[in-house]
Protein backbone atom coordinates (compact mmCIF):
# COMPACT_ATOMS: atom_id res chain seq x y z
CA UNK A 1 0.00 0.00 0.00
CA UNK A 2 2.80 2.32 0.84
CA UNK A 3 4.56 1.70 -2.40
CA UNK A 4 1.44 2.36 -4.32
CA UNK A 5 0.72 5.56 -2.59
CA UNK A 6 4.06 6.80 -3.81
CA UNK A 7 3.96 5.25 -7.15
CA UNK A 8 1.43 7.59 -8.45
CA UNK A 9 2.66 10.96 -7.24
CA UNK A 10 6.02 10.27 -8.77
CA UNK A 11 4.72 9.75 -12.22
CA UNK A 12 2.44 12.66 -11.78
CA UNK A 13 5.24 14.99 -10.89
CA UNK A 14 6.96 13.89 -14.00
CA UNK A 15 3.92 14.70 -16.03
CA UNK A 16 3.55 18.03 -14.33
CA UNK A 17 7.09 18.98 -15.19
CA UNK A 18 6.59 17.89 -18.74
CA UNK A 19 3.48 19.94 -19.10
CA UNK A 20 5.08 22.97 -17.63
CA UNK A 21 7.96 22.65 -19.95
CA UNK A 22 5.66 22.26 -22.85
CA UNK A 23 3.56 25.19 -21.84
CA UNK A 24 6.53 27.37 -21.27
CA UNK A 25 7.60 26.61 -24.73
CA UNK A 26 4.60 28.37 -26.07
CA UNK A 27 4.36 30.91 -23.37
CA UNK A 28 0.87 29.87 -22.52
CA UNK A 29 0.10 28.33 -19.22
CA UNK A 30 -3.56 28.76 -19.38
CA UNK A 31 -4.99 25.29 -19.35
CA UNK A 32 -8.70 25.24 -19.43
CA UNK A 33 -8.95 21.67 -20.47
CA UNK A 34 -7.61 19.05 -18.15
CA UNK A 35 -6.70 21.56 -15.60
CA UNK A 36 -4.35 20.16 -13.05
CA UNK A 37 -6.22 19.21 -9.99
CA UNK A 38 -4.91 20.59 -6.79
CA UNK A 39 -5.58 17.60 -4.72
CA UNK A 40 -3.39 15.02 -6.23
CA UNK A 41 -0.06 15.40 -4.62
CA UNK A 42 -0.76 15.46 -0.98
CA UNK A 43 2.29 14.61 1.03
CA UNK A 44 1.28 13.29 4.37
CA UNK A 45 3.51 15.71 6.20
CA UNK A 46 3.57 19.35 5.25
CA UNK A 47 0.98 22.04 5.42
CA UNK A 48 -2.62 21.30 4.66
CA UNK A 49 -3.86 23.01 1.52
CA UNK A 50 -6.32 24.99 3.60
CA UNK A 51 -3.44 27.05 4.87
CA UNK A 52 -2.85 28.28 1.41
CA UNK A 53 -6.15 30.07 1.39
CA UNK A 54 -5.95 33.39 -0.27
CA UNK A 55 -2.62 32.76 -1.87
CA UNK A 56 -2.02 33.00 -5.53
CA UNK A 57 0.80 31.42 -7.42
CA UNK A 58 2.71 28.26 -7.11
CA UNK A 59 2.94 26.02 -4.12
CA UNK A 60 5.40 23.24 -4.61
CA UNK A 61 3.47 20.83 -2.44
CA UNK A 62 0.25 21.10 -4.33
CA UNK A 63 1.15 22.53 -7.69
CA UNK A 64 -0.10 25.68 -9.34
CA UNK A 65 -2.71 27.58 -7.39
CA UNK A 66 -5.62 29.22 -8.97
CA UNK A 67 -7.15 30.54 -5.84
CA UNK A 68 -8.56 33.98 -6.10
CA UNK A 69 -7.48 36.46 -3.47
CA UNK A 70 -10.79 36.33 -1.67
CA UNK A 71 -11.60 32.70 -2.04
CA UNK A 72 -10.69 30.11 0.46
CA UNK A 73 -9.15 26.85 -0.50
CA UNK A 74 -12.20 25.03 0.77
CA UNK A 75 -14.36 26.47 -1.89
CA UNK A 76 -11.82 25.39 -4.46
CA UNK A 77 -12.11 21.91 -3.17
CA UNK A 78 -15.87 21.94 -3.19
CA UNK A 79 -15.98 23.21 -6.73
CA UNK A 80 -13.66 20.48 -7.80
CA UNK A 81 -15.67 17.84 -6.04
CA UNK A 82 -18.74 18.89 -7.94
CA UNK A 83 -17.21 18.36 -11.33
CA UNK A 84 -15.21 15.30 -10.65
CA UNK A 85 -17.54 13.01 -12.49
CA UNK A 86 -16.60 14.73 -15.72
CA UNK A 87 -13.46 12.69 -15.90
CA UNK A 88 -14.89 9.42 -14.73
CA UNK A 89 -17.04 9.17 -17.77
CA UNK A 90 -15.14 10.95 -20.45
CA UNK A 91 -11.90 9.07 -19.97
CA UNK A 92 -13.44 5.70 -20.51
CA UNK A 93 -12.54 4.14 -23.84
CA UNK A 94 -16.22 3.60 -24.39
CA UNK A 95 -16.75 7.33 -24.26
CA UNK A 96 -14.95 7.64 -27.54
CA UNK A 97 -17.02 6.85 -30.55
CA UNK A 98 -19.49 9.64 -30.64
CA UNK A 99 -19.34 11.92 -33.62
CA UNK A 100 -20.38 15.34 -34.71
CA UNK A 101 -20.96 16.42 -38.27
CA UNK A 102 -18.03 17.50 -40.38
CA UNK A 103 -20.00 20.63 -41.17
CA UNK A 104 -20.08 21.65 -37.53
CA UNK A 105 -16.37 21.07 -37.26
CA UNK A 106 -15.66 22.97 -40.45
CA UNK A 107 -17.61 25.95 -39.19
CA UNK A 108 -15.72 25.93 -35.94
CA UNK A 109 -12.40 25.52 -37.68
CA UNK A 110 -13.18 28.34 -40.02
CA UNK A 111 -13.90 30.60 -37.07
CA UNK A 112 -10.67 29.55 -35.45
CA UNK A 113 -8.74 30.43 -38.58
CA UNK A 114 -10.44 33.79 -38.93
CA UNK A 115 -9.84 34.48 -35.27
CA UNK A 116 -6.18 33.71 -35.80
CA UNK A 117 -6.15 35.89 -38.87
CA UNK A 118 -7.66 38.86 -37.11
CA UNK A 119 -5.18 38.62 -34.32
CA UNK A 120 -2.12 38.38 -36.55
CA UNK A 121 -0.21 40.67 -38.83
CA UNK A 122 1.63 38.20 -40.99
CA UNK A 123 0.90 34.88 -42.58
CA UNK A 124 3.48 33.11 -40.52
CA UNK A 125 1.88 34.49 -37.39
CA UNK A 126 -1.45 33.03 -38.42
CA UNK A 127 0.19 29.70 -38.95
CA UNK A 128 1.94 29.96 -35.65
CA UNK A 129 -1.35 30.55 -33.91
CA UNK A 130 -2.98 27.58 -35.57
CA UNK A 131 0.05 25.55 -34.71
CA UNK A 132 -0.28 26.55 -31.10
CA UNK A 133 -3.92 25.55 -31.02
CA UNK A 134 -2.97 22.14 -32.29
CA UNK A 135 -0.03 21.82 -29.98
CA UNK A 136 -2.21 22.03 -26.92
CA UNK A 137 -4.44 19.36 -28.30
CA UNK A 138 -1.46 17.15 -29.07
CA UNK A 139 -0.21 17.34 -25.52
CA UNK A 140 -3.49 16.03 -24.25
CA UNK A 141 -3.91 13.50 -26.97
CA UNK A 142 -0.85 11.49 -26.11
CA UNK A 143 -2.05 11.12 -22.56
CA UNK A 144 -5.60 10.39 -23.56
CA UNK A 145 -4.75 7.72 -26.11
CA UNK A 146 -2.21 5.98 -23.93
CA UNK A 147 -4.47 6.09 -20.93
CA UNK A 148 -7.43 4.67 -22.74
CA UNK A 149 -5.48 1.89 -24.32
CA UNK A 150 -4.30 0.91 -20.85
CA UNK A 151 -7.79 0.17 -19.70
CA UNK A 152 -8.44 -3.52 -19.89
CA UNK A 153 -12.03 -4.54 -19.77
CA UNK A 154 -13.01 -6.63 -16.81
CA UNK A 155 -10.88 -7.52 -13.88
CA UNK A 156 -8.23 -5.54 -12.15
CA UNK A 157 -8.05 -3.64 -8.96
CA UNK A 158 -7.64 -0.02 -8.20
CA UNK A 159 -4.42 1.29 -9.46
CA UNK A 160 -4.63 4.75 -8.05
CA UNK A 161 -7.88 4.32 -6.34
CA UNK A 162 -7.01 6.74 -3.61
CA UNK A 163 -6.53 9.59 -5.95
CA UNK A 164 -9.81 8.82 -7.56
CA UNK A 165 -11.24 10.95 -10.29
CA UNK A 166 -8.83 13.83 -10.57
CA UNK A 167 -5.93 11.47 -10.64
CA UNK A 168 -7.27 9.65 -13.57
CA UNK A 169 -8.01 12.93 -15.14
CA UNK A 170 -4.54 14.26 -14.95
CA UNK A 171 -2.83 11.06 -15.67
CA UNK A 172 -4.39 11.18 -18.89
CA UNK A 173 -6.63 10.65 -21.61
CA UNK A 174 -6.66 8.26 -24.33
CA UNK A 175 -8.61 6.83 -27.08
CA UNK A 176 -8.62 3.46 -28.55
CA UNK A 177 -5.28 2.88 -30.01
CA UNK A 178 -4.70 0.06 -32.32
CA UNK A 179 -2.67 -2.33 -30.30
CA UNK A 180 -4.60 -2.67 -27.14
CA UNK A 181 -2.72 -2.98 -23.93
CA UNK A 182 -0.71 -6.11 -23.92
CA UNK A 183 -2.60 -7.35 -20.95
CA UNK A 184 0.38 -7.70 -18.74
CA UNK A 185 -1.56 -8.31 -15.63
CA UNK A 186 0.59 -6.39 -13.28
CA UNK A 187 0.99 -8.22 -10.06
CA UNK A 188 0.90 -6.04 -6.99
CA UNK A 189 -0.76 -7.41 -3.92
CA UNK A 190 -4.37 -7.28 -3.04
CA UNK A 191 -4.52 -4.54 -0.50
CA UNK A 192 -7.79 -3.09 -1.54
CA UNK A 193 -8.10 0.51 -0.59
CA UNK A 194 -11.41 1.96 0.28
CA UNK A 195 -14.80 0.80 -0.75
CA UNK A 196 -15.12 -1.73 -3.47
CA UNK A 197 -18.36 -0.39 -4.86
CA UNK A 198 -16.65 2.65 -6.26
CA UNK A 199 -16.91 1.85 -9.92
CA UNK A 200 -14.05 4.05 -10.98
CA UNK A 201 -12.24 3.59 -14.22
CA UNK A 202 -9.06 3.05 -12.32
CA UNK A 203 -10.24 -0.37 -11.24
CA UNK A 204 -9.95 -1.54 -14.81
CA UNK A 205 -6.33 -0.62 -15.14
CA UNK A 206 -3.75 -3.14 -14.13
CA UNK A 207 -0.73 -1.68 -15.84
CA UNK A 208 -0.28 1.57 -17.58
CA UNK A 209 0.72 1.01 -21.13
CA UNK A 210 4.38 1.40 -21.89
CA UNK A 211 5.29 4.60 -23.65
CA UNK A 212 7.04 4.48 -26.97
CA UNK A 213 10.76 4.91 -26.56
CA UNK A 214 12.12 4.37 -30.04
CA UNK A 215 11.76 6.89 -32.77
CA UNK A 216 10.06 4.56 -35.17
CA UNK A 217 7.61 3.37 -32.56
CA UNK A 218 6.48 6.84 -31.75
CA UNK A 219 6.16 7.73 -35.41
CA UNK A 220 4.09 4.64 -35.97
CA UNK A 221 1.95 5.75 -33.09
CA UNK A 222 1.29 9.08 -34.77
CA UNK A 223 0.80 7.51 -38.15
CA UNK A 224 -1.58 4.87 -36.80
CA UNK A 225 -3.52 5.40 -33.58
CA UNK A 226 -3.36 9.18 -33.50
CA UNK A 227 -4.46 9.52 -37.10
CA UNK A 228 -7.16 6.93 -36.67
CA UNK A 229 -8.42 8.73 -33.63
CA UNK A 230 -8.47 12.11 -35.32
CA UNK A 231 -9.58 11.22 -38.80
CA UNK A 232 -10.89 7.67 -38.59
CA UNK A 233 -8.12 6.29 -40.77
CA UNK A 234 -4.38 5.86 -40.66
CA UNK A 235 -2.32 8.40 -42.54
CA UNK A 236 -1.43 7.48 -46.08
CA UNK A 237 2.26 7.09 -45.69
CA UNK A 238 5.16 7.41 -43.33
CA UNK A 239 8.46 8.08 -45.06
CA UNK A 240 12.02 8.70 -44.02
CA UNK A 241 13.84 11.43 -45.82
CA UNK A 242 16.72 10.16 -47.91
CA UNK A 243 18.59 13.42 -47.64
CA UNK A 244 18.49 14.30 -44.02
CA UNK A 245 18.94 11.93 -41.17
CA UNK A 246 16.53 13.60 -38.80
CA UNK A 247 13.66 14.09 -41.20
CA UNK A 248 10.53 12.01 -41.48
CA UNK A 249 7.38 12.63 -43.39
CA UNK A 250 3.78 11.78 -42.77
CA UNK A 251 1.64 12.03 -45.83
CA UNK A 252 -2.05 12.70 -45.98
CA UNK A 253 -3.62 12.48 -49.42
CA UNK A 254 -6.97 13.84 -48.39
CA UNK A 255 -6.68 16.05 -45.33
CA UNK A 256 -10.14 16.13 -43.82
CA UNK A 257 -10.22 19.24 -41.72
CA UNK A 258 -8.96 21.64 -44.35
CA UNK A 259 -10.93 20.18 -47.18
CA UNK A 260 -13.23 23.19 -47.43
CA UNK A 261 -10.43 25.71 -47.47
CA UNK A 262 -9.38 26.66 -50.93
CA UNK A 263 -6.77 29.31 -50.31
CA UNK A 264 -3.21 28.13 -50.23
CA UNK A 265 -1.77 31.40 -49.03
CA UNK A 266 -2.13 30.28 -45.48
CA UNK A 267 -1.34 26.70 -44.71
CA UNK A 268 -4.14 25.78 -42.35
CA UNK A 269 -2.73 22.32 -41.90
CA UNK A 270 -0.38 23.88 -39.42
CA UNK A 271 -3.07 23.04 -36.96
CA UNK A 272 -2.38 19.36 -37.53
CA UNK A 273 1.36 20.07 -37.37
CA UNK A 274 0.74 21.42 -33.93
CA UNK A 275 -1.03 18.26 -32.89
CA UNK A 276 1.81 16.08 -34.15
CA UNK A 277 4.39 18.24 -32.48
CA UNK A 278 2.48 18.24 -29.22
CA UNK A 279 2.28 14.47 -29.18
CA UNK A 280 5.96 14.02 -30.05
CA UNK A 281 7.12 16.69 -27.66
CA UNK A 282 5.32 15.22 -24.71
CA UNK A 283 6.71 11.84 -25.66
CA UNK A 284 10.17 13.40 -25.33
CA UNK A 285 10.90 13.54 -29.02
CA UNK A 286 11.36 17.27 -29.45
CA UNK A 287 10.95 18.29 -33.06
CA UNK A 288 9.55 20.85 -35.41
CA UNK A 289 6.78 19.95 -37.78
CA UNK A 290 5.83 21.83 -40.90
CA UNK A 291 3.16 21.24 -43.49
CA UNK A 292 3.73 21.41 -47.21
CA UNK A 293 1.18 21.18 -49.91
CA UNK A 294 2.45 18.72 -52.51
CA UNK A 295 -0.32 17.92 -54.97
CA UNK A 296 -0.13 14.69 -56.89
CA UNK A 297 -2.10 13.42 -59.84
CA UNK A 298 -5.15 12.14 -58.11
CA UNK A 299 -4.84 14.06 -54.89
CA UNK A 300 -4.68 17.76 -55.45
CA UNK A 301 -4.92 18.51 -51.77
CA UNK A 302 -2.16 16.16 -50.70
CA UNK A 303 -0.23 17.41 -47.71
CA UNK A 304 3.17 16.32 -46.48
CA UNK A 305 3.96 16.85 -42.83
CA UNK A 306 7.70 17.12 -42.42
CA UNK A 307 8.97 16.20 -38.97
CA UNK A 308 12.47 17.37 -38.11
CA UNK A 309 13.71 15.90 -34.89
CA UNK A 310 16.18 17.73 -32.70
CA UNK A 311 19.71 16.47 -32.70
CA UNK A 312 19.42 15.08 -29.18
CA UNK A 313 16.79 12.64 -30.34
CA UNK A 314 19.12 11.13 -32.89
CA UNK A 315 21.93 10.92 -30.39
CA UNK A 316 19.73 9.13 -27.94
CA UNK A 317 18.44 6.90 -30.68
CA UNK A 318 21.99 5.86 -31.49
CA UNK A 319 22.52 4.60 -27.98
CA UNK A 320 21.64 1.04 -27.24
CA UNK A 321 19.33 0.53 -24.36
CA UNK B 1 -42.64 11.94 -28.15
CA UNK B 2 -45.55 14.00 -26.96
CA UNK B 3 -48.80 14.35 -28.78
CA UNK B 4 -48.06 18.00 -29.09
CA UNK B 5 -44.94 17.64 -31.11
CA UNK B 6 -46.48 14.85 -33.10
CA UNK B 7 -49.18 17.14 -34.27
CA UNK B 8 -46.60 19.75 -35.08
CA UNK B 9 -44.60 17.44 -37.21
CA UNK B 10 -47.74 16.24 -38.94
CA UNK B 11 -48.45 19.78 -39.96
CA UNK B 12 -44.90 20.49 -41.01
CA UNK B 13 -45.57 19.99 -44.65
CA UNK B 14 -42.54 18.12 -45.94
CA UNK B 15 -41.81 14.95 -44.05
CA UNK B 16 -44.59 12.66 -43.01
CA UNK B 17 -42.38 11.14 -40.38
CA UNK B 18 -41.90 12.87 -37.10
CA UNK B 19 -39.22 15.47 -36.88
CA UNK B 20 -37.22 13.21 -34.66
CA UNK B 21 -36.96 10.35 -37.09
CA UNK B 22 -36.44 12.89 -39.82
CA UNK B 23 -33.48 14.35 -37.98
CA UNK B 24 -32.12 10.93 -37.07
CA UNK B 25 -32.38 9.84 -40.64
CA UNK B 26 -30.40 12.78 -41.97
CA UNK B 27 -27.80 12.29 -39.29
CA UNK B 28 -27.43 8.61 -40.12
CA UNK B 29 -27.47 8.68 -43.84
CA UNK B 30 -26.61 12.08 -45.14
CA UNK B 31 -24.04 13.48 -42.78
CA UNK B 32 -20.30 13.18 -42.96
CA UNK B 33 -18.97 12.74 -39.46
CA UNK B 34 -15.88 13.51 -37.52
CA UNK B 35 -14.64 12.55 -34.09
CA UNK B 36 -16.58 14.47 -31.49
CA UNK B 37 -13.61 14.67 -29.20
CA UNK B 38 -11.50 16.42 -31.79
CA UNK B 39 -14.31 18.91 -31.92
CA UNK B 40 -14.34 19.22 -28.15
CA UNK B 41 -10.60 19.65 -27.93
CA UNK B 42 -10.50 22.17 -30.73
CA UNK B 43 -13.17 24.24 -29.11
CA UNK B 44 -11.39 24.02 -25.79
CA UNK B 45 -8.22 25.21 -27.38
CA UNK B 46 -10.05 28.15 -28.93
CA UNK B 47 -11.61 29.18 -25.64
CA UNK B 48 -8.40 28.89 -23.72
CA UNK B 49 -6.60 30.91 -26.36
CA UNK B 50 -9.25 33.60 -26.13
CA UNK B 51 -8.89 33.69 -22.37
CA UNK B 52 -5.20 34.33 -22.81
CA UNK B 53 -5.66 36.88 -25.55
CA UNK B 54 -8.14 38.87 -23.50
CA UNK B 55 -6.08 38.48 -20.36
CA UNK B 56 -8.80 36.56 -18.61
CA UNK B 57 -11.42 39.21 -19.09
CA UNK B 58 -14.23 36.69 -19.34
CA UNK B 59 -16.89 39.19 -20.30
CA UNK B 60 -14.91 39.89 -23.43
CA UNK B 61 -14.40 36.21 -24.02
CA UNK B 62 -18.15 35.65 -23.76
CA UNK B 63 -18.91 38.32 -26.29
CA UNK B 64 -16.16 37.16 -28.62
CA UNK B 65 -17.52 33.61 -28.51
CA UNK B 66 -20.94 35.00 -29.19
CA UNK B 67 -19.65 36.94 -32.16
CA UNK B 68 -17.91 33.87 -33.53
CA UNK B 69 -21.12 31.93 -33.09
CA UNK B 70 -23.07 34.60 -34.91
CA UNK B 71 -20.72 34.36 -37.87
CA UNK B 72 -21.20 30.63 -37.90
CA UNK B 73 -24.95 30.88 -37.52
CA UNK B 74 -25.55 33.09 -40.50
CA UNK B 75 -23.74 30.57 -42.69
CA UNK B 76 -24.91 27.46 -40.97
CA UNK B 77 -28.59 28.11 -41.62
CA UNK B 78 -27.88 27.80 -45.33
CA UNK B 79 -26.32 24.43 -44.82
CA UNK B 80 -29.17 23.38 -42.57
CA UNK B 81 -31.88 24.35 -45.02
CA UNK B 82 -30.03 22.69 -47.86
CA UNK B 83 -29.84 19.45 -45.95
CA UNK B 84 -33.33 19.36 -44.54
CA UNK B 85 -35.41 21.36 -47.02
CA UNK B 86 -37.77 22.11 -44.17
CA UNK B 87 -40.50 24.66 -44.82
CA UNK B 88 -41.00 27.78 -42.77
CA UNK B 89 -42.20 27.11 -39.23
CA UNK B 90 -45.68 28.24 -38.27
CA UNK B 91 -45.00 28.87 -34.64
CA UNK B 92 -42.21 29.26 -32.20
CA UNK B 93 -43.20 25.89 -30.76
CA UNK B 94 -42.46 24.31 -34.08
CA UNK B 95 -39.23 26.24 -34.39
CA UNK B 96 -38.12 24.93 -31.04
CA UNK B 97 -38.79 21.37 -32.12
CA UNK B 98 -36.87 21.86 -35.33
CA UNK B 99 -33.95 23.33 -33.44
CA UNK B 100 -33.73 20.56 -30.93
CA UNK B 101 -34.64 17.52 -33.00
CA UNK B 102 -33.16 18.47 -36.33
CA UNK B 103 -30.57 21.21 -36.02
CA UNK B 104 -28.81 20.01 -32.91
CA UNK B 105 -29.16 16.42 -34.03
CA UNK B 106 -27.72 16.98 -37.47
CA UNK B 107 -24.79 19.10 -36.44
CA UNK B 108 -23.90 17.96 -32.97
CA UNK B 109 -25.72 14.67 -32.63
CA UNK B 110 -27.50 15.66 -29.47
CA UNK B 111 -31.14 16.42 -28.79
CA UNK B 112 -31.69 19.04 -26.13
CA UNK B 113 -34.96 19.06 -24.22
CA UNK B 114 -37.31 21.92 -24.92
CA UNK B 115 -39.14 23.33 -21.93
CA UNK B 116 -39.82 26.16 -19.58
CA UNK B 117 -42.09 28.06 -21.93
CA UNK B 118 -42.97 31.59 -20.97
CA UNK B 119 -46.64 32.40 -20.45
CA UNK B 120 -47.14 34.13 -23.74
CA UNK B 121 -45.14 31.50 -25.61
CA UNK B 122 -42.45 33.83 -26.83
CA UNK B 123 -39.55 32.30 -24.97
CA UNK B 124 -38.37 28.79 -24.26
CA UNK B 125 -35.39 26.97 -22.86
CA UNK B 126 -33.18 24.32 -24.31
CA UNK B 127 -31.77 21.91 -21.77
CA UNK B 128 -28.54 20.38 -22.96
CA UNK B 129 -28.21 17.04 -21.22
CA UNK B 130 -25.05 16.35 -23.12
CA UNK B 131 -22.96 19.07 -24.58
CA UNK B 132 -20.26 18.00 -27.00
CA UNK B 133 -18.49 21.30 -26.48
CA UNK B 134 -17.87 20.78 -22.82
CA UNK B 135 -16.76 17.19 -22.36
CA UNK B 136 -13.50 17.04 -20.41
CA UNK B 137 -13.94 20.59 -19.28
CA UNK B 138 -13.49 21.92 -15.82
CA UNK B 139 -13.46 25.65 -15.37
CA UNK B 140 -10.80 27.34 -13.27
CA UNK B 141 -12.08 29.19 -10.23
CA UNK B 142 -11.99 32.63 -11.72
CA UNK B 143 -13.62 31.54 -14.95
CA UNK B 144 -16.43 29.63 -13.25
CA UNK B 145 -17.99 32.88 -12.13
CA UNK B 146 -18.15 34.73 -15.39
CA UNK B 147 -17.37 32.58 -18.37
CA UNK B 148 -20.19 30.98 -20.30
CA UNK B 149 -18.08 28.28 -21.80
CA UNK B 150 -20.45 27.25 -24.57
CA UNK B 151 -21.53 30.76 -25.42
CA UNK B 152 -20.75 30.14 -29.05
CA UNK B 153 -24.00 28.16 -29.28
CA UNK B 154 -26.00 31.27 -28.37
CA UNK B 155 -24.38 33.16 -31.18
CA UNK B 156 -25.04 30.33 -33.60
CA UNK B 157 -28.73 30.21 -32.75
CA UNK B 158 -29.07 33.94 -32.87
CA UNK B 159 -27.37 34.18 -36.24
CA UNK B 160 -29.25 31.30 -37.74
CA UNK B 161 -32.65 32.47 -36.52
CA UNK B 162 -31.98 35.97 -37.71
CA UNK B 163 -31.44 34.66 -41.20
CA UNK B 164 -34.92 33.17 -41.16
CA UNK B 165 -36.40 36.49 -40.08
CA UNK B 166 -36.66 35.75 -36.40
CA UNK B 167 -35.09 38.35 -34.20
CA UNK B 168 -34.21 36.45 -31.05
CA UNK B 169 -32.20 36.92 -27.93
CA UNK B 170 -30.30 33.83 -26.91
CA UNK B 171 -28.37 33.45 -23.70
CA UNK B 172 -27.26 30.91 -21.17
CA UNK B 173 -29.17 30.76 -17.92
CA UNK B 174 -27.30 27.96 -16.32
CA UNK B 175 -24.38 25.67 -16.98
CA UNK B 176 -23.26 22.53 -15.23
CA UNK B 177 -19.71 23.76 -15.61
CA UNK B 178 -20.54 26.61 -13.28
CA UNK B 179 -22.00 24.24 -10.77
CA UNK B 180 -25.59 24.45 -11.97
CA UNK B 181 -28.01 21.55 -12.02
CA UNK B 182 -28.45 21.65 -15.77
CA UNK B 183 -27.21 23.42 -18.83
CA UNK B 184 -29.98 25.72 -19.91
CA UNK B 185 -30.12 28.05 -22.88
CA UNK B 186 -32.87 30.59 -23.14
CA UNK B 187 -34.29 31.68 -26.48
CA UNK B 188 -36.57 34.69 -26.55
CA UNK B 189 -38.33 35.82 -29.69
CA UNK B 190 -38.43 39.58 -29.99
CA UNK B 191 -40.18 39.96 -33.29
CA UNK B 192 -40.56 38.44 -36.68
CA UNK B 193 -38.69 40.57 -39.14
CA UNK B 194 -40.19 41.47 -42.45
CA UNK B 195 -38.69 40.10 -45.56
CA UNK B 196 -36.76 43.02 -46.86
CA UNK B 197 -35.11 43.38 -50.16
CA UNK B 198 -31.52 44.27 -49.53
CA UNK B 199 -30.51 47.70 -50.64
CA UNK B 200 -29.27 47.67 -54.18
CA UNK B 201 -25.68 48.26 -54.92
CA UNK B 202 -26.33 51.26 -57.05
Per-residue pLDDT tens digits for A66-87: 554 444 444 444 444 444 455 6
Q: What is the pLDDT of residues A213-244, one digit of tens each?
A: 899 999 999 999 999 999 989 999 999 999 99
Whether the per-residue pLDDT at A65 is higher than 90: the answer is: no
| CB–CB contact B41 A30 (8 Å) | no
Residue-level pLDDT at A239? 93
Residue-level pLDDT at A69? 47
A196: confidence class by pLDDT, cuts 50, 70, 90: very low
Rounded mean pLDDT of A14-21? 46
| CB–CB contact B179 A173 (8 Å) | no
Of A154-168, A307-321, B58-72, B145-159, least confident by mean pLDDT is A154-168
Residue B93 three-state SS: helix
* Nearest-5° Cα angle at B28, B27 to B29: 100
Residue-level pLDDT at B114? 94
Rounded mean pLDDT of A181-192? 34
Instruction: Report residues of chain B scoring pLDDT below 70.
Output: 1-17, 201-202
Q: Which of B27, B33, B46 sits opposite A115 (nearest CB)?
A: B46
Q: Please state which CATH class domain B3-192 belongs to.
A: alpha beta
Q: DSSP class of residue B55?
A: T
Residue-level pLDDT at B126? 95
| CB–CB contact A100 B50 (8 Å) | no
Q: What number of C-beta contacts closer than 8 Å exist between A and B?
A: 150
Q: Which of B36, B71, B143 sits opposite A111 (nearest CB)?
A: B71
Optimal mutation site among A78, A101, A172, A226, interface B, most CBs of chain B within 10 A: A101
| CB–CB contact B39 A34 (8 Å) | no
Q: How far A139 CA lies from chain B's nearest CA (Å)?
A: 11
Whether the per-residue pLDDT at A113 is higher than 70: the answer is: yes
Interface residue B63 vs chain A (CB under 8 A): no
Q: How far B12 CA lies from chain A's nearest CA (Å)?
A: 24
Of A89-98, A189-198, A214-223, A242-251, least confident by mean pLDDT is A189-198
Whether the per-residue pLDDT at A166 is higher than 90: the answer is: no
Contacts of A175 in chain B (CB under 8 A): 37
Q: What are phi and psi of A46, to 5 degrees?
A: -30, -170
Domains of chain A by start residue, with CATH: 212-318 (3.30.1380.20)
Residue-level pLDDT at A98? 84
Amino acid sequence: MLTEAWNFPKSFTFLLLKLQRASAKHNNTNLVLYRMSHKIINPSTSVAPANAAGSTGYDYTIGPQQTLPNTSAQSVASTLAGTRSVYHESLHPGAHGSHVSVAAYAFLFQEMVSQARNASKTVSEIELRLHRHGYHIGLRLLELLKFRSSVTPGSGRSFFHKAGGPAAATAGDAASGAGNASGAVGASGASSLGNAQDESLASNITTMKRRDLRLLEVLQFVHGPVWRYLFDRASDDLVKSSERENEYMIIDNTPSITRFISSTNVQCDFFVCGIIEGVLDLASFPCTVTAHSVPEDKFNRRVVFVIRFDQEVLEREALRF
Amino acid sequence: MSANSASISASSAGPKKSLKTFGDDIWKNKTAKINAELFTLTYGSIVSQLCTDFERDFKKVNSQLYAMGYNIGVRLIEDFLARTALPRCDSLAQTSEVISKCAFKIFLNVTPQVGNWSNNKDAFSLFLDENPLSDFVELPMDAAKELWYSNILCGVLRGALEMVQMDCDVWFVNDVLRGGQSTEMRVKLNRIMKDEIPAGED
